[in-house]
Amino acid sequence: MTATDRITLVVLNDDGSREKFTLSSWVGIPRKHELLWIGDDPFMVIEVEYAVSEGFFGARAIEAAGVYVKKLSEDEQAAVARRLEVPVRGSDERKFRP
C-alpha cells in the first residue's frame, strides 16, 4: 500500500452504532470478507473504501482509506473455527513421506 494520509477503521456494532478509530498504518490491502483479529476478538471486513488521487506521469496515491468491520457473532465464530480445524486423519492414511 502506498503512503496514506489517514486510515479510518469503522467498527459496525450490532445495535447499529459505529465506532471510528484513526490508524497510522495498515499492512497490506484488506479485502472484503477477510478475517482479522483486534485484540482477542475476531472481526470480518465488510467494506473497504479508498480515495485515490492522480499524480504526475500517471502515478496514483491513496489519500484516505476506510475499513468497515463487524465483530463475528457466536455462530459465525463457531463456523470459522470449524473451517480452520485440521482435518482428522483416517486410520488407513499414512503420514506424508518425501
What grid cell was written down for 10?
469503522
What grid cell was written down for 46?
465488510
Task: Say what the pLDDT of residue 26 is.
Answer: 73
**Residue 90 pLDDT > 70, yes or no?**
no
What's the average model confidence in pLDDT over 13-24? 90
Name the pLDDT band for 92 (thresholds 50, 70, 90): low
In angstroms, rounded to a whole number, what is the distance separating the alpha carbons of residues 37 and 44?
Answer: 9
Task: Say which range, 4-8, 37-41, 68-72, has the weakest mean pLDDT.
Answer: 4-8
pTM above 0.75, yes or no: no
Among candidate residues 40, 11, 5, the one with its CA nearest the CA of residue 24: 5
Pairing mode of beta strands 41-54, 35-38: antiparallel
What 3-state DSSP class applies to 98? coil
Domain residue ranges of the chain, discontinuous segments joined by +: 6-84
